[in-house]
Amino acid sequence: MRKIIPLSILLTTALACSALAFAAPDGEHFGGQGHGHGHGGEGFRELQKLNLSDAQRASIKDIVKQGFAQLKPQMQAVRQQRSAFEALTPDSPNYQSAAASLAQAEGQLTVARLTQRAALKAQIYAVLNSSQKSQLATLKAAHEARKQQWQQFKTQNPLPSTNQPAQ
């Protein structure tokens, strides 16, 4: 269970990096990290295909940076709390209370991340012009169709089970 929670933070970071990557001019990476290609949540990936103006890119970059800056202190606090919990042994007197406290903090961070993501998407959407919004809707519909085809393919071509004895 503890491995799932850090994964959610990793995915959040990837989302933030991907949003910065789509706003960058071709060949340029915001933050100087070089991260973010091919990652991101629904909608962010498609923005790369909308021929954003330099002003739109700058505006989106600012929106994403502000959003990340708002969550950074809370993410750092949870990371420190998680490290402190992981340093405890199960026979420590406050192990259970530390686990409950960490779970509460992780839950609050998840709520903050999801609500912030919705706010970021709304702010970014407001930056787009009407033709970009309709193009984005078309791209999302095509993405959903490809996703549906993939699900159908996986259903029709299941992976061999590793639990079955060899014959």
C-alpha dist (Å) from residue 128 to 16, 57, 85, 105, 162: 19, 10, 44, 35, 48
What residue ranges of the chain have pLDDT lower than 70?
1-44, 162-167
- Give the pLDDT score at 55: 93
- Per the structure block, which two tokens stand in for 45? 């990936």
Closest-CA residue to 15 (of 39, 38, 35, 48): 39
Whole-structure pTM value:
0.60
What pLDDT shows up at residue 160? Answer: 84
**Model confidence pLDDT, tens digit, residues 94-135:** 999 999 999 999 999 999 999 999 999 999 999 999 988 988
Contact between residue 59 and residue 32 where contact means Cβ atoms under 8 Å apart:
no
Is residue 48 within 8 A of residue 93, CB to CB? The reply is no
Give the pLDDT confidence score for residue 158 in this predicted structure. Answer: 87
DSSP letters, 51-95, are ---HHHHHHHHHHHHHHHHHHHHHHHHHHHHHHHHHHS-TTSTTH
Q: Which of 53, 51, 24, 50 shows the shortest CA–CA distance to 37? A: 24
Where does the chain have alpha helices with state H? Answer: 4-23, 44-47, 54-87, 95-127, 130-156
Is the Cβ–Cβ distance between 120 and 64 less than 8 Å?
yes
> Using CA atoms, how far apart are residues 105 and 74, in angstroms rounded to an integer?
9
